[in-house]
């Protein structure tokens, strides 16, 4: 029988379950709901739970431990192993898919390195994509947003979460197309999606990747 990772009791009237981005089973139950009723409900939903857990775990996303040594991080869609070593700066071996972090403040140094590379990559991708789309934009900014991968302001300033750097290059390009399409259409109208599909015919696949890997928004 499946076991819940967390049971949250509130003043709600019904039972509800959710499998989060890391495959954890969360149960929300009324204050007076018995464990027998909870586990009977879980047994009834077992096939759905197992299917969702397999889907989430298949995404390969794990929360980073306190000690980052040995942790594997997505970078441009590929898993890179982290090693914390006696060094003065962050190093990256693209052939071996390895990131080397200094022992002094490794997490902070890694985040800074990710943001710097994200700005460089997103700026380049956006410029190239805008040229293809004949689109104009004000600027490119990298943020720490967790709620959305990218956004376009009313004055056409583009903002990307630095965590988008975890995604494959073609997914990053889709997000750029999506936000640049907003410089022409300030909504998600049929005209907007027609513009997106013109440059990313398989945009639904790219959007599905982002949804499936939503847990990456929680990494750092």
pLDDT tens digits along 161-199? 999 999 999 999 999 999 999 999 999 999 999 999 999
Asked if residue 145 lies in contact with residue 165, where contact means CB atoms within 8 angstroms, the answer is no
Where is pLDDT greater, at 139 or 57? 139
Nearest-angstrom CA–CA distance, 158 and 140: 5
Nearest-angstrom CA–CA distance, 156 and 206: 23
Taking residues 33-58, report their average pLDDT.
Answer: 90
- Give me the pLDDT at residue 141, please: 98
Nearest-angstrom CA–CA distance, 14 and 9: 10
- Give me the pLDDT at residue 58, please: 72
Bridge partners of residue 109, in order along the sequence: none
pLDDT band at residue 21 using 50, 70 and 90 as cut-offs: confident
For each of the domains in the chain, give its residue range(s) and CATH number, in order of start.
6-58 (no CATH), 111-218 (3.30.2010.10)
């Amino acid at each position: 029988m499946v076991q819940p990772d967390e049971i949250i009791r509130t003043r709600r009237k019904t039972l509800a379950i959710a499998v989060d981005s890391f495959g954890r089973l969360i149960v929300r139950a009324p204050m007076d709901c018995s464990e027998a009723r909870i586990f009977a409900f879980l047994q009834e939903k077992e096939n759905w739970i197992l299917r969702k857990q397999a889907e989430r775990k298949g995404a390969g996303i794990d929360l980073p431990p306190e000690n980052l040594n040995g942790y594997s991080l997505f970078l441009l869609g590929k898993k890179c192993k982290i090693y914390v070593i006696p060094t003065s700066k962050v190093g990256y071996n693209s052939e071996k898919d390895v990131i080397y972090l200094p022992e002094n403040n490794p997490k902070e140094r890694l985040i800074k390195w990710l943001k710097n590379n994200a700005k460089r990559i997103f700026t380049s991708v956006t410029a190239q994509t805008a040229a293809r789309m004949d689109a104009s934009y004000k600027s490119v900014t990298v943020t720490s947003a967790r709620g959305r991968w990218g956004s376009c302001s009313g004055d056409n300033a583009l903002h990307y979460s630095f965590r988008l750097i975890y995604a494959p290059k073609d997914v990053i390009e889709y997000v750029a197309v999506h936000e640049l399409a907003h410089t022409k259409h300030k909504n998600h109208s049929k005209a907007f999606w027609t513009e997106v599909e013109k440059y990313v015919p398989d945009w639904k696949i790219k959007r599905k990747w982002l949804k499936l890997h939503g847990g990456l928004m929680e990494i750092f």
